[in-house]
Amino acid sequence: MIRRAARSEHVSGWLFVLPAVALIGLFGIVPIIWGAILSLQQNDLLTPPKWVGLDNYRTLIHDPVFRASVHRTIVYTLLFVPISVGGALAIAILLNRRIRFSRFYRTAVFIPVATSTVATGIIFNWLLEPTYGVANYLLGQIGLGPYGYFQDPDQALYSIVAMTVWGWIGFDVIVYLAALQGVPEELVEAAKLDGAGRWAIFRNVVFPLLSPTTLFLVVWSTINALQVFDEIYVTTHGGPLQATTVMVYYLFNQAFELFHGGYAAAIAYVLFLMTLVLSVVQLWIGNRRVYYS
């Protein structure tokens, strides 16, 4: 019995995936469990921790800065996801046509994705500098501005949206381009023969065939948007006046600037639950509407 089990494909299969399982377990599962334990402690990361049960979560509910950070995270996500996914679809359709230099344009669109976010941040710091920056100079030439961008509490979050859309849209474009190549020519031809115009073809043939891709991009972008951090860390540091303190930035502030490790872990868990619920809802809605050929 044992011998048969040992010889079966299960064992060799497990052996093949073992390195990956061990790595994911060590750097994925263990921190998740440890984070849950941490969220039930008062832990300054320096001295021995103290058990506080659900106190961290109770404090969170009444913390006005946390509530504001949740609000900002949602506003950011609601702007970032539709703009980047919708914009990417438009750009992909433009680039999918036979035009001169299309390879050049495709490369150009993708370059920001390959650029490190730190470099992107430093460049935008100078571009959007209110007094000496290029953006205000150019807008000034046509009679607009000057704007405060990262230094104006009312504009900072929107400036971050603009910067991150620029930085990440290339990825969505490439995925959409690949999907557009997969749209069967004969379906488009058939629709044309039936007298469908360009918009009708897009609306009734192309867009439904792209729906699995759209679903993937929406879920993936949402998860990323909820966790936005790097770009804020290198530009506004959560400011001015906490205008860009999103959930992960507040988590960072609590954990590594104020040394409230347990409290920060509780924030991480709330974020985790938000992400989980949103993803499940998106997939559930998506699966009822997505067309898999």
Partner 1 sequence: MKRMVSLVLPLLVLLAAAASCGGGGSSNGVVNITVWHGYEDVEGKAINAAAKRFNDTHPKIHVTVQNYGNADYALQKVLTAIRGGAEPDIAYLYGSWAANIARSPAAVDLAPMIQSDPSIHWDDFWPAERQAVQVGPKIIGVPALVDNLALVYNKKLFDQAGIPYPSDNWTWDDFRAAAKKLTDPSSKQFGWAYVADGSEDTVWRFDALLWQAGGDILNSDNTKAEFNSPAGVKAATLLQQMATVDHSVYLDNGNGNYANLFNSGKIAMLFTGPWDLSSFTDVNYGVQILPGDLNHQTISGPDQWVMFDKGSAQKQAAWTFLKWFTSPQESLQWSLDTGDLPIRQSTTKLAQYSAYTKKYPGVGTFVVNLGNAAKARPVIPTYNEISQAMGQAIQAVLLGKAQPKQALDSAAQQVDSVLASGQ
**Residues near partner 1 (CB under 8 A):** 6, 11, 14-15, 18-19, 22-23, 26, 42, 44-47, 122, 125, 129, 131-132, 150-151, 153, 236-237, 239-242, 253, 256-260
Q: Are 203 and 188 in contact (CB under 8 A)?
A: no
- The residue (of 93 and 234) whose beta carbon lies closer to partner 1 is 234
Closest of 131, 167, 168, 169 to residue 150, by C-alpha: 131
- The residue (of 22 and 285) whose beta carbon lies closer to partner 1 is 22
In angstroms, give the least distance from the CB of 237 to partner 1.
Answer: 6
In angstroms, give the least distance from the CB of 246 to partner 1.
Answer: 16
Q: What is the dihedral of CA 136, 137, 139, 142, to 10 degrees?
A: 150
Q: How far apart are CA 203 and CA 198, in angstroms?
A: 9
- The residue (of 26 and 144) whose beta carbon lies closer to partner 1 is 26
Residues in the chain: 293
Cis peptide before 82 (omega within 30 of 0): no
- Residue 7 has, within 13 A of its CA and on its CB side, a CA count of 3
CA atoms 185, 187, 193, 199: torsion sign: negative
Q: How far apart are CA 248 and CA 265, in angstroms?
A: 11
Which amino acid type is present at position 31?
Answer: P
In angstroms, give the least distance from the CB of 136 to partner 1.
Answer: 11
In angstroms, give the least distance from the CB of 12 to partner 1.
Answer: 11
In angstroms, give the least distance from the CB of 120 to partner 1.
Answer: 14
In angstroms, give the least distance from the CB of 56 to partner 1.
Answer: 12
Q: How far apart are CA 275 and CA 262, in angstroms?
A: 20
- The residue (of 24 and 280) whose beta carbon lies closer to partner 1 is 24
Q: Are 176 and 213 in contact (CB under 8 A)?
A: yes
Q: Which helix (H) or strand (E) holds 51?
A: strand 50-51
Contacts of 289 (CB under 8 A, 6+ apart): 211
- The residue (of 11 and 190) whose beta carbon lies closer to partner 1 is 11
In angstroms, give the least distance from the CB of 80 to partner 1.
Answer: 22
- The residue (of 104 and 132) whose beta carbon lies closer to partner 1 is 132
Is 243 in a helix, a strand, or coil? coil
- The residue (of 24 and 273) whose beta carbon lies closer to partner 1 is 24
- The residue (of 118 and 280) whose beta carbon lies closer to partner 1 is 118
In angstroms, give the least distance from the CB of 152 to partner 1.
Answer: 8
Residue 193's CB is within 10 A of a number of other CB atoms, namely: 8
